[in-house]
């Protein structure tokens, strides 16, 4: 084995897309090295500032990096879907064996597909008119037999499979040097363009908006090279016309690389759709996993955290010897390594695309501690959060089950959870809307989820557990008393309580609430608790709106439980 005497470092750029490229390059380089004994002398080491390659010479390192880029291109730029593999539509001529054959068409995966057009494809090929007479006869017979056509508008016979990945010259020795707009190094550069970063515009696009615009910024070969490997470290999911791209960010290169083993490209959350390459997360229905169902941005973020925590938990339970150790294994990595997640929502628009939303989420330690706390609190039901996620679905358009309008409420509430905001009023509104859209839905999980979440985010503030219990018991008591009063009469008498609940919901002041409660008391012979009579609604920390929401949620849940047919859970 040759001694590694040449050293080259790819440093952190402190830009989330290009730093993600460091991670992708590190893991692909590791796999290429393990698979090819000829590169056994090359070492790839990561530290806080970036990754360093040690190789016998610059030429060997260049060859190795070219091989890594080829591996990346085969994974994300030059792939064939299941239908394309079955169709085998391209006709190719192998010069070595003097054979005509068929190969599948190729497409880029969704992220490169945003900026890769038909004109990006290239291959060693020859136009039909320029072929020899004998070859034309062979080709004609082959095309007629297999009912195929030649490649492209110019009818070219392929001598190799077409490719569409951008060409990058590594370690260029010639060319004008400029200052790179990303890393600030002086190097051989080219104009910035979308293939380097989604939000870059090409010179043509820039000048079309501003004809007085100056010359475009420059980007060095190294930043260009790293930008392509960001695709390897990105999670992505295609939903209708939208594409979600999720990247992790950290200020420490080694910790970012290690984090990908837990949450990122090297974790079990990665599921590549090898049939269509439309997604690499949430491609299959898995028990107690949510990513498959997520269709809007904050749904996707919550589902990602939920599923990765579940995978972490399974592993932690095999290692932990105590509850304290279990908590440490599930939350400590995110306390020690502050991570940021960048989520892009991109929509295709003909020949281009539009960025609909970009979310920079920094509270990873909070969200994993929250998930762990829920898991411990509801340990008897490991699918509790899965059920809550499904219960947050509100079918506004029943004839269109996949209409995005059906997911808006769930997205809104989960957004507030991720942002540490109160969800009580939103859940109460959702519960009533859900009861109007569906027949007696079960909202018990939503009530318990809301109660526990509110206690966590308002610890030491707001209503105490005892005060919440008073509100919940009042709601249940109203429905139970109405049920007792309707016994032996008719169901329509019991149904009147729903109107009373709506009237109670419309109250805007404590006085109006108590007056309506007084009417209900006389109608159903309810015994009001001493705490309410003693003025609990006037106590410090008790929000009238929160008290009313807890009361109505509990009442609506009790009513639906009574009315729901016994054979429906």
SS3 359: strand
- The dihedral region occupied by 133, where left means phi > 0, alpha psi between -120 and 50, and beta the remainder, is alpha
**Cα–Cα dist 52/63, whole Å:** 16
Angle at 338 between CA 335 and CA 339, to 5 degrees: 125
Say which residue the tokens 């730093």 belong to: 19
**Cα–Cα dist 245/324, whole Å:** 35
Contacts for 49 with CB less than 8 Å, ≥ 6 apart: 9, 11, 12, 253
At 428, which helix (H) or strand (E)? helix 424-437
Please state the three-class secondary structure of 382-428 as a single string. CCHHHHHHHHCCCCCCCCCCCCHHHHHHHHHHHHHHHCCCCCHHHHH
Range list of H helices, 294-346: 297-319, 323-336
SS3 470: helix
Hey, which bits of 226-286 come out as E strands? 235-239, 242-249
Mean pLDDT split into 10-residue runs, the chain, 569 residues: 78 94 95 88 93 93 95 94 93 93 94 87 92 93 93 92 93 88 89 82 65 76 94 93 93 92 85 88 90 94 94 84 82 80 89 88 92 92 94 76 80 96 93 86 92 86 86 91 78 79 90 89 82 82 89 91 73
**What pLDDT, on a 0 to 100 scale, did the predictor assign at position 349?**
78
**What pLDDT, on a 0 to 100 scale, did the predictor assign at position 23?**
95
**Cα–Cα dist 83/107, whole Å:** 12
Contacts for 441 with CB less than 8 Å, ≥ 6 apart: 391, 434, 435, 560
User: How many CA within 13 A on the CB side of residue 389?
Assistant: 23
**Cα–Cα dist 101/97, whole Å:** 11
**What pLDDT, on a 0 to 100 scale, did the predictor assign at position 203?**
66
Whether residue 475 contacts residue 524, with contact meaning beta carbons closer than 8 Å, is answered with no
Q: How many CB atoms lie within 10 A of CB 423?
A: 21
**Dihedral angle at the C-alpha atoms of 290, 369, 20, 60, nearest 10 degrees?**
-100
Please state the three-class secondary structure of 494-542 as a single string. HHHHHHHHHHHHHCCCHHHHHHHHHHHHHHHCCCCCHHHHCCHHHCCCC
Buried b (16+ CB within 10 A) or exposed e, 476-487: bbbbbbbbebbe
**Cα–Cα dist 457/454, whole Å:** 5
């Amino acid at each position: 084995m040759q001694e590694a005497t040449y050293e080259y470092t790819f440093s952190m750029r402190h830009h989330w897309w290009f730093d993600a490229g460091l991670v992708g390059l590190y893991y692909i380089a590791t796999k290429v090295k393990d698979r090819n004994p000829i590169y056994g002398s090359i070492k790839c080491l990561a530290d806080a500032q970036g990754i360093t390659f040690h190789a016998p010479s610059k030429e060997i390192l260049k060859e190795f990096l070219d091989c890594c880029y080829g591996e990346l291109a085969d994974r994300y730029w030059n792939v064939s879907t299941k239908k394309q593999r079955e169709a085998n539509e391209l006709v190719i001529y192998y010069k070595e064996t003097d054979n005509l054959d068929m190969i599948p068409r190729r497409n880029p995966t969704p992220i490169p597909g945003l900026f890769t057009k038909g004109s990006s494809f290239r291959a060693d090929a020859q136009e039909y008119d320029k072929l020899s007479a004998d070859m034309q006869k062979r080709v004609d017979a082959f095309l007629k037999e297999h009912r195929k056509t030649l490649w492209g508008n110019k009818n070219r016979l392929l001598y190799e499979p077409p490719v569409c990945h951008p060409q990058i010259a590594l370690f260029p020795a010639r060319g004008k040097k400029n200052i790179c707009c990303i890393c600030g190094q002086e190097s051989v550069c080219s104009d910035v363009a979308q293939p380097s970063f989604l939000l870059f515009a090409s010179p043509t696009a820039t000048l079309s908006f501003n004809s007085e615009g100056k010359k475009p910024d420059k980007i060095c070969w190294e930043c260009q090279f790293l930008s392509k490997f960001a695709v390897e470290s990105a999670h992505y999911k295609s939903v209708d016309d939208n594409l979600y791209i999720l990247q992790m960010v950290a200020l420490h290169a080694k910790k970012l690389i290690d984090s990908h083993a837990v949450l990122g490209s090297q974790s079990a959350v990665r599921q590549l759709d090898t049939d269509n390459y439309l997604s690499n997360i949430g491609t299959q229905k898995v028990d107690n996993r949510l990513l498959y169902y997520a269709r809007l941005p904050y749904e996707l973020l919550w589902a990602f955290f939920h599923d990765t925590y579940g995978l972490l938990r399974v592993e932690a339970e095999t290692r932990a010897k105590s509850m304290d150790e279990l908590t440490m294994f599930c939350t400590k990595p995110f306390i020690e390594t502050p991570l940021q997640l960048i989520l892009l929502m991109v929509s295709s628009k003909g020949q281009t695309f539009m960025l609909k939303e970009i979310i920079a989420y920094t509270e990873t330690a909070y969200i994993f501690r929250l998930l762990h706390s829920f898991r411990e609190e509801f340990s008897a039901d490991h699918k509790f959060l899965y059920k809550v996620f499904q219960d947050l679905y509100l079918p506004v358009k029943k004839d269109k089950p996949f209409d995005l309008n059906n997911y808006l409420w769930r997205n809104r509430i989960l957004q507030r959870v991720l942002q540490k905001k109160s969800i009580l009023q939103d859940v109460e509104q959702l519960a009533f809307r859900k009861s109007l859209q569906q027949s007696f839905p079960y909202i018990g999980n939503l009530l318990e989820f809301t109660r526990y979440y509110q206690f966590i985010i308002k610890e030491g503030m707001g209503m105490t557990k005892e005060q919440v219990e008073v509100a919940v018991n009042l709601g249940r008591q109203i429905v139970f008393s109405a049920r007792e009063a309707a016994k032996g009469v008719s169901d329509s008498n019991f149904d009147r309580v729903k109107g009373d609940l709506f009237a109670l919901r419309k109250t805007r002041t404590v006085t109006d609430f108590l007056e309506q409660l007084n009417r209900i008391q006389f109608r159903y012979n309810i015994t009001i608790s001493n705490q309410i009579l003693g003025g609990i609604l006037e106590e410090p920390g008790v929000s009238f709106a929160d008290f009313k929401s807890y009361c109505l949620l509990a009442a609506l849940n009790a009513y639906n439980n009574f009315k729901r047919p016994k054979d429906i859970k």
